[in-house]
Structure 1
Amino acid sequence: MITYTYWFLFITAACGSLYFLGKRGAWKAAFITGGSIMLVGWGAYYFHFEQVFVKRFGGVMTISIPSGQRHIATTWKDDNLWVENYDPATNTCYFYEYSKGNLLEGKVVIKNCNPLMPNRQH
């Protein structure tokens, strides 16, 4: 629901700029302003607000696990989603912050990690 409200506000602002600037005959400025409003709205949602909306207000978000890896765990740290995967080919665990566009993404690599097999002690 919050996502619909977010997009309604941005579309209303873009259409409002088209209406008011177009009414004055400044169509070029109207389209540039409307397009800029939509671009800023899309960028803010895609790179930041999607995770915030899902965590705080409920919603749906889909991520994909890299091919060849196995998913271990997912957790939230503040508004950031952290995902842990295991690569059996290299016996390495990857704990990384999920971020669309790979902006400001943290990553921890744990070598010789074998979480799927019990530790055998002789």
Structure 2
Amino acid sequence: MTIRSRIAAAFAVASLALVFAGQSHATVFAAWQVANVPFGDTLNLRKYPSATSQKQAAYPNGTVLQMTGRCTGGVNLLDIASQPAWKQRQTVRFRWCEVWHDPAKNGEFVTGWAYGKYITPY
């Protein structure tokens, strides 16, 4: 086997591993939806967990969001998923939670942050 074919084989194996790793990562998202936003307003997703951070996108009530599971204060949405919905909402009410979204709707997903007061388990 030549060096070139060994490199090509190694690249193929590494690429396949990345495909499977990406698929398993995507299955850990938690679905939550935008709720409790005042009539005529939208939930702003921010670049960082701060109300003064750059706005990336805005979503109306009812929009389903893909949450990474990570919230400020060490809260993980996947860890609290077995609790009743009211308890989950109470846990994240004053925290920022990370969202995986496509603000430009061009297939380029990024992470952003939503304030917990305006999201609820889906």
Please report the TM-score for the alignment, with normalisation by the length of structure 2: 0.33
Decide which structure has greater helix share.
1
Decide which structure has greater strand share.
2
Higher RCO (CA-CA < 8 Å; seq separation 6+) = 2
